[in-house]
Amino acid sequence: MNISSPVVALAGGVGGAKLAVGLAATLPPGALTVIVNTADDLTLHGLHISPDLDTVMYNLAGLSDSDQGWGIKDDTIGAIELLGRYGGPTWFRLGDVDMATHIRRTQRLSEGARLTEVTAELCTALDIQTRVLPMTDAPVATRIMTPEGELEFQDYFVARGTRPKVIGVRFQGADSAEATPEVFDALLEANTIVYCPSNPIVSLGPILAIKGIRERLNKKPRRPRVGVSPIIGNAALRGPAAEMLKSLSHKVSALGVAEILHDYLDAFVIDDQDIHLLPSFLDLDIKARVAQSVMSNLSSKKRLAQDVLDFAEKIRG
Amino acid sequence: MNISSPVVALAGGVGGAKLAVGLAATLPPGALTVIVNTADDLTLHGLHISPDLDTVMYNLAGLSDSDQGWGIKDDTIGAIELLGRYGGPTWFRLGDVDMATHIRRTQRLSEGARLTEVTAELCTALDIQTRVLPMTDAPVATRIMTPEGELEFQDYFVARGTRPKVIGVRFQGADSAEATPEVFDALLEANTIVYCPSNPIVSLGPILAIKGIRERLNKKPRRPRVGVSPIIGNAALRGPAAEMLKSLSHKVSALGVAEILHDYLDAFVIDDQDIHLLPSFLDLDIKARVAQSVMSNLSSKKRLAQDVLDFAEKIRG
């Protein structure tokens, strides 16, 4: 089946990175642009860290640790241990080789380069054919409201291991942040939009919170917007999506995810085991189909990517 | 023999660090202050690197690579290789664990801490009892004049492997740099001054180029100033000291070193094999004695330190 490229995928961290790898391996070189959440970015040790950008980039470059899904394969942690001895925080386990990315990014940003430019430089250096774009060059920070008070995202996610109950989420800076010209162009040119199986609240949520992006994701003739559920049954393969959906009073299912993305979604791929949900999608006016959505290796990533692209072609028009 | 502490040692890199280790192991805890050359400092990858401070610090902490004398034992180089892939310079082979020191220093300096304060913090974290002081908090940069033009020190030293002929040396910023209050206090309190076996031109030279330091090293009753020659025979154990002495028209011998330090020197320890030079020191009005000056392990470092301190006691008064 012909694929109408270019394709734009919206992604957060590990789940998004996996589907991005599948899409990149399926589409012609250069046909894919991934717009990545940056609201999880943080500064530690004076270094600018962009966890989701790095996860997408390392996965696309084939550098990532396939067990944990993020970081660099076989990386060591000597630097973070010495930083800890120096009194720095160690809860964010930066790898030794990984550190080079944060050092380089920080240096280039301090020289005045935009995050979009730095990301492009890093991707070029890593021979990545896919265009990887931060959702914005402006600072946006996910803040998690919990019974213990408002937490920075990585404090909630890593330092506290997602244990606090989430009673609200806000994206500090999103109101004034602008999408970049590169994001605008990619969305203008895209013939297919893919929502990766990323947390709809804290991974796709920040991207959708950028006003310019929202508008450019609006319904457009012959441009399918296809999502993939990060929830299978009533659980997420990884991360706090399920607990977060529940505590924020969403359905803890693929259906709950689709409801959140509803205004920007035409079609949704759910896991085989959620086949019983298909009728409910009719009520949502969202087309749905099932697929094997667990991506444990390259072939399952490519198979899911192909299913998503086939679905897009089928509903185009 | 009683030792009149406190002792201040002036040091550059590896040779200085080795004698500092010997002195620290010989003197009572807290009795030693090492004033370290910072004119080799450089910024790479946006990080503030202080090679001599790090060498002294790592050696005192027992972290150093005893083969090469600098860097951290068994360190890996994955980060610098990735930085190279990103387009950064790789001729300065920063280790992965070592990177933590540069990251922390850079962060603390950017927060407004003085280099002296940051160095003290790092040393405290590494359980170093010896006080390690940068010669100044101000930027001073050794510039090497060569037939190819003027080079930054590390460009000459590392990138070009000391191959260019040295026709002149200057210390950019030294005229306006001030020694720190900590350096002034240490020099005021010191009952013994030791010049480590460091390059007299580019390691001790910059320290002596700081006006406030020079004045405080002036002759003082009952305060011996004892040096150790970095030249044995007509060669340096390491580094370009011999070639540099020659091309700058100094004698390539312990005597040539003593002549350079002459105005701030009372006594000089030279190697056993240079015993024939002893009469010449009489002409210089500098007391001299021989010792085994090659420091290949802790016991030879301690032995040389003891010889230096004994010599100081002998000539005190």
**ipTM for the whole complex:** 0.94
What span, in angstroms and rounded, lies between the C-alpha atoms of A304 and A310? 10
CB contact under 8 A, B88 and A97: no
A282 lies within 8 A of chain B by CB: no
- In the numeric block, which tokens belong to residue B104? 């922390």
Please compute the mean of the pLDDT values over residues B119-137 and round it to a whole number: 98
Closest Cα in chain A, distance from residue B29 (Å): 22
Per the CB < 8 Å rule, is B100 touching A121? no
CB-CB under 8 Å, B86 with A121: yes
Q: Is the per-residue pLDDT at A2 higher than 60?
A: no
- Chain centre distance of CA A117: 19
What would the mean pLDDT of A266-295 be, rounded to a whole number?
A: 96
- Residue in this structure with the two tokens 């509903």, named with its chain if needed: A315
What is d(CA B155, CA A131) in angstroms, rounded to the nearest whole number? 36
B255-306: pLDDT as tens digits: 999 999 999 999 999 999 999 999 999 999 999 999 999 999 999 999 999 9
pLDDT digits (tens, 9 = 90+) for B223-252: 999 999 999 999 998 889 999 999 999 999
**pLDDT tens, residue by residue, A178-224:** 999 999 999 999 999 999 999 999 999 999 999 899 999 988 888 99
Summary mean pLDDT of chain B? 95
Percent of all residues in chain A with a pLDDT value above 70, rounded to a whole number: 98
Flag whether A134 is in a domain.
yes
The answer to whether B110 contacts A83, with C-beta atoms less than 8 Å apart, is no
Would you state the pLDDT for residue A226?
Answer: 98
Cα distances (angstroms) measured from residue B29 to each of B13, B129, B225, B226 = 22, 6, 21, 21
| Domain presence at residue A124 | no
Indicate yes or no: CB of A99 within 8 angstroms of CB of B99. yes
Domain at A269, CATH number: 3.40.50.10680
* pLDDT higher at B72 or B68: B72
The pLDDT score that the predictor gives to residue A1 is: 47
**Does B75 sit within 8 Å of A106, measured CB to CB?**
no
On the question of a cis peptide bond just before residue A6, with omega within 30 degrees of 0, the verdict is: yes
HEC-encoded secondary structure of chain A: CCCCCCEEEEECCHHHHHHHHHHHHHCCCCCEEEEECCCCCEEECCEEECHHHHHHHHHHCCCECCCCCCCECCCCCHHHHHHHHCCCCCCCCCCCCHHHHHHHHHHHHHCCCCHHHHHHHHHHHCCCCCEEEECECCCCEEEEEECCEEEEHHHHHHHCCCCCCCCEEEEECCCCCCECHHHHHHHHHCCEEEECCCCCCCCHHHHHHCHHHHHHCCCCCCCCEEEECCEECCEECCCCHHHHHHHCCCCCCHHHHHHHHHHHCCEEEEEHHHHHHHHHHHHHCCEEEEECCCCCCHHHHHHHHHHHHHHHHHHCC
Q: Which two tokens stand for residue B221?
A: 């009753």
Question: Residue A211: which domain range?
Answer: 7-40+129-139+172-315
CA distance A244 to chain B (A): 35
Q: At what angle do helices A78-85 and B98-110 cross, to 10 degrees?
A: 50
Mean pLDDT across chain A: 95
**Statement: residue A282 has pLDDT above 70:** yes
Q: What is the pLDDT of residue B65?
A: 81
Q: Is the pLDDT of residue B4 over 80?
A: no
CA angle (B286, B287, B293) in 5-degree steps: 110
Alpha-carbon dihedral B151, B103, A136, A162, rounded to 10 degrees: 170
- Pairing verdict, β B192-195 and B225-228: parallel
CA-based nearest residue to A207, from A41, A60, A12: A12
Q: Are strands B32-36 and B7-11 parallel, antiparallel or unpaired?
A: parallel
Chain segment A233-263, per-residue pLDDT in tens: 999 988 899 999 999 999 999 999 999 999 9
Question: Are residues A104 and B88, on separate chains, in Cβ contact within 8 Å?
Answer: yes
Q: How many C-beta atoms surround the C-beta of residue A165 within 10 A?
A: 14
Phi and psi (nearest 5°) for A45? 60, 25
Q: Which residue of A has its CA nearest to B46?
A: A107
Q: Quick check: A24 pLDDT over 70? A: yes
Say which residue the tokens 């000056």 belong to. B293
Whether B146 is in a domain gets the answer no
- CA-nearest residue to B100 within chain A is A79
- From the list A309, A313, A306, A296, the residue with the least C-alpha distance to A66 is A296
The answer as to whether A259 is a domain residue is yes
User: Is there a domain that residue B164 lies in?
Assistant: no
Query: Which among B79, B87, B106 is the nearest to A97, CB-wise?
Result: B79
Q: Number of folded domains in chain B?
A: 1
Cβ-based contacts of B103 with chain A (< 8 Å)? 45-47, 79, 83, 99, 103
- Which of B129, B130, B132 lies closest to B101, judged by CA? B132
Q: Which of residues 64-83 of A touch B (CB under 8 A)?
A: 75-76, 78-83
- A104-159 tens-digit pLDDT: 999 999 999 999 999 999 999 999 999 999 999 999 999 999 998 999 998 998 88
B135 inside domain = yes
Q: What is the pLDDT of residues B149-161, one digit of tens each?
A: 999 998 998 889 9
Q: pLDDT value at position A211?
A: 85
3-state secondary structure chain B: CCCCCCEEEEECCHHHHHHHHHHHHHCCCCCEEEEECCCCCEEECCEEECHHHHHHHHHHHCCECCCCCCCECCCCCHHHHHHHHCCCCCCCCCCCCHHHHHHHHHHHHHCCCCHHHHHHHHHHHCCCCCEEEECECCCCEEEEEECCEEEEHHHHHHHCCCCCCCCEEEEECCCCCCECHHHHHHHHHCCEEEECCCCCCCCHHHHHCCHHHHHHCCCCCCCCEEEECCEECCEECCCCHHHHHHHCCCCCCHHHHHHHHHHHCCEEEEEHHHHHHHHHHHHHCCEEEEECCCCCCHHHHHHHHHHHHHHHHHHCC
Q: Is residue A69 part of a domain?
A: no
**Is A49's Cβ below 8 Å from some Cβ in B?**
no
Give domain status of residue B211, yes or no: yes
Cα dihedral B191→B197→B200→B203 (10° resolution): -90
Q: Considering chain B, what percentage of its residues have pLDDT values greater than 70?
A: 98
Q: How far does B248 lie from chain A, in Å, by closest CA?
A: 38
